[in-house]
Amino acid sequence: MTPLSIGVVIPAYSPDIATLEDYIGDIRQVLNPETIRIEIDAPRQQNVLRLQDIADEVNSSNTRRGKGAAIMKGFDSLTTDILVFADADGSVPVSSLEDIVLQIINGNAKVSIGSRRHPGSNIISHQTIARRILGDAFAFAARQMLPTKCRDYQCGAKAVHREAWEEIGHHCYESGFAWDLEFVSVAGALGYEIAEAPVDWADHPDSTVDTFATSIELATALIDVKRRTSAIAESPRHCDTDKTDRATLTKPDGGAE
C-alpha cells in the first residue's frame, strides 16, 4: 500500500522567525512531509527571503487576509493526500502534531483535530486567566449550539484527508480565527467522523491574537456558523459556490467574506 503523502500549511502573521525555523525543522524530521507551505500576511521582505530558505513554498500577501483565508489558500494549493495546518508559534509540538496525523493514517477518521481539553492532554503553560475563562465559555456555548460536539474547536492544529477537504472546503467562508470553528462544525454536519487527539500545549504570551476582539469575532461567527451548518446537516450535498477563487467568495446570505 502506497504511504499517504503529507502537506503542511503554516499560516503566519508577524511570526518569530527563529521559532518558526526551529518548528519547521522539527516538522521535517518527524513528519517527513512532501510539502511545507507558509502562508504569510503583510510580511517584511527579509522575512520572506529567510522563510524561502526553509520552506518548500512561501506565499505572501501584502494585506492581512486572516488565519482562515491563509489556511484555505494553502489547502487548495497542496496536492498531497493529507492536509495539515499548525499555528506558527509552535504551541502544539510536532510530537502532538504527529499524533493528530496518525489518526487519519492509522484510523478511520478523515478529519483529526488537536484538543487541549482532552483528558489526555498535557498543558505545559496556561493562558492568562481571562483567555482561559473566555475560551472555556466559548467552547461550552459552541457545544450547546452547534450540531458538531467537540471538546475543543479552536486548537491550532488540524488535519484532513484531501477527499474530505474537497467537500468541506466548499462550505468554508470564515477568513479569520473563526475558521477553526467553522471547519469542525462543517465537517461534522457533513457526517465526517472527527478524531480528537490529546496534545502537549504551551501558551505563547507574545501571540498576535487580541483576546477580546477575537472573542467578539467568534461570538458573532458562532451564530452564523450554527445557521449554515444546520442547513448543511439537512442538505449536506448542497454546495454554495465553487471554491476556485477564494478572493471573491461571499457567504450564502450575500455577506462579504
Q: Which three cell numbers stand for residue 85?
A: 495546518
Residues 231, 235, 241, 246: is their CA dihedral positive or negative? Answer: positive
pLDDT in tens, the chain (257 residues): 679 999 999 999 999 999 999 999 999 999 999 999 999 999 999 999 999 999 999 999 999 999 999 999 999 999 999 999 999 999 999 999 999 999 999 988 999 999 998 999 898 765 566 666 777 777 788 888 888 999 999 999 999 999 999 999 999 999 999 999 999 999 999 999 999 999 997 776 555 556 667 778 888 889 999 999 999 988 755 444 444 444 444 455 544 33
Which of 79, 88, 66, 78 has its CA nearest to residue 247?
66
Distance CA(129)–CA(177), nearest Å, equals 20
Distance CA(168)–CA(76), nearest Å, equals 12
User: What is the residue extent of each domain of the chain?
Assistant: 6-232
Residue 227 has a CB neighbour count (10 Å cut-off) of: 12
Amino acid at 86: A
pLDDT digits (tens, 9 = 90+) for 39-48: 999 999 999 9
Pick the CATH number of 6-232 from 3.30.565.10, 3.90.550.10, 3.20.20.70, 3.40.50.12780: 3.90.550.10
